Structure 1
Amino acid sequence: MEQLFWACLAGGVMFAVVTVIFGDLISNAVDGVLDFLSVDQLRKIRPMVVVSAITAFGGAGLLLLHYTQLPAALDVALGAAAGIAVGALVYVVYVRPMENSENSTGFSIRELAGRIGEVLVPVPPKGYGEVMVKIGHSHTNQIAASFDGDTLEAGARVVIVEVREDTLFVSRLDKDTGLRDSQ
């Protein structure tokens, strides 16, 4: 029994060390190679939870084996219960909240059409300037040109009319149009 507990504990610790040190390198090296293993039912099984449970099983089993006079079968059962409890705790405290917090800050420049922005670098009638646009809780600065051929001074509020060749074509947002910055 002791070898089983040591193997589980050592395997879990080695997995943690390898993933912390080499996680990104391994991920990039095998990118997409193991996608054939992706089965919908298995997607809910998280390696972090499984390895945490196995490591806790090994550690608890060793402690029970050395510090109690319980029979070996009971050491295994209590170690398994400890492993399941730790795995469940890791899932509830860490994995599930992280799944819910994953938000992408990525966006497509094509999505900016219709948004409201502010001129940072003046936009001449036939040239380029810079506009700041709010995306979610952050801002992005983009190259802009005047859609109407007007000069747009720094600080002017503009609406993005269209996007062509990675350039925002903007028009002044008149105060009397009643448009509000709802984005």
Structure 2
Amino acid sequence: MTVFGLDIQTFYLTLLIVTGCITILYIFFGDVLDGIGEGIPFLNPALILAFIIFFSATSYVFEVITPLSSLFIAVIAIIISFLLDILLHFFVLVPLSSAEESLSYTEESLKGRVGKIIIPIPEEGFGEIVIESKSGTISKPAACYEKTAISEGTQVLVLDIKEGVLYVTPYESLDAESM
């Protein structure tokens, strides 16, 4: 069988190579196309390229090793590619996207957190605070909310955030003994 004047095996191999090259380009320049897959996840360019690669690779292998008809091979390849694409989406792309979100933080999410002063805050001045989190240690500039000095090592509570500076107040945790 021929497609576009090429033998079917040559067509599948050419499609595989071209789509592989486009996939490599997508890896390097994919940020430009990321908005396309936001609304409908199955229009994600990574899934479309993966489907074409799965289809062309499966079709090429079946054309080479089996005596089945080309139409039947194409149908089998479409089914296999669709199943592999679904597995790729749910077991690779979805967990990766949620993992990326869980490691990030916003400044607003720091309100109400408790941290430790590592550079003392003078009156009317700035120091530095460290906040421990599941994803690591966050270090930010800090100022006292009441405009008083806070010494190094003091535990503080983040009350407000303005222009990247955390406004804090000394924090004393409740111990079981004081109750």
TM-score range, shorter chain: 0.7 to 0.9
C-alpha contact (below 8 Å) 1:61/1:76 kept by paired residues: no
**Structure 1: segments with no counterpart, 5+ residues:** 179-183
Q: Assess, with a 3 A threshold, how the Cα gap between structure 1 residues 107 and 56 changes in structure 2: closer, same or farther.
A: same
Structure 1 segments of 4+ aligned residues over 6 angstroms from their partners: none
Superposition CA RMSD, Å:
3.2
Contact preservation (8 Å) 1:6, 1:62: no
Match of 1:161 among 147, 159, 165: 159
Q: What is aligned with 2:64?
A: 63
By relative contact order (CA 8 Å, sep 6+), the higher-ranking structure is: 1
What's the TM-score, normalizing by structure 2? 0.72
Q: Which residue of 1 aligns with 2:15?
A: 11
For 2:31 and 2:135, how far apart are their aligned partners in 1? 29
Q: Offset at 1:42?
A: 4.8
**SS at the partner of 1:175?**
coil
Structure 2: gaps (5+ residues): none
Matches for 1:1-183 after TM superposition, within 5 Å: 1=1, 3-21=7-25, 23-25=27-29, 27-28=31-32, 35=36, 40=40, 42-43=42-43, 46-64=47-65, 68=66, 70-71=67-68, 73=69, 75-78=70-73, 80-92=75-87, 94-98=88-92, 99-102=94-97, 103-104=100-101, 105-176=103-174
Give me the whole-angstrom Cα distance separating, in 1, the residues matched to 2:147 and 2:38.
Answer: 53
Deviates more, 1:105-114 or 1:140-149: 105-114
**1:133: how far off?**
2.0
- What is the one-letter code of the residue matched to 2:80? A
Normalising by the residue count of structure 1, what TM-score does the alignment of the two structures yield?
0.71
Kept in 1, the 8 Å contact 2:54–2:81? The answer is: yes
Residues matched between the structures, number: 167
CA distance in 1, matches of 2:8, 2:63: 9
User: Percent identical across equivalent pairs?
Assistant: 16
Letter of the structure 1 residue corresponding to residue 89 of structure 2: V
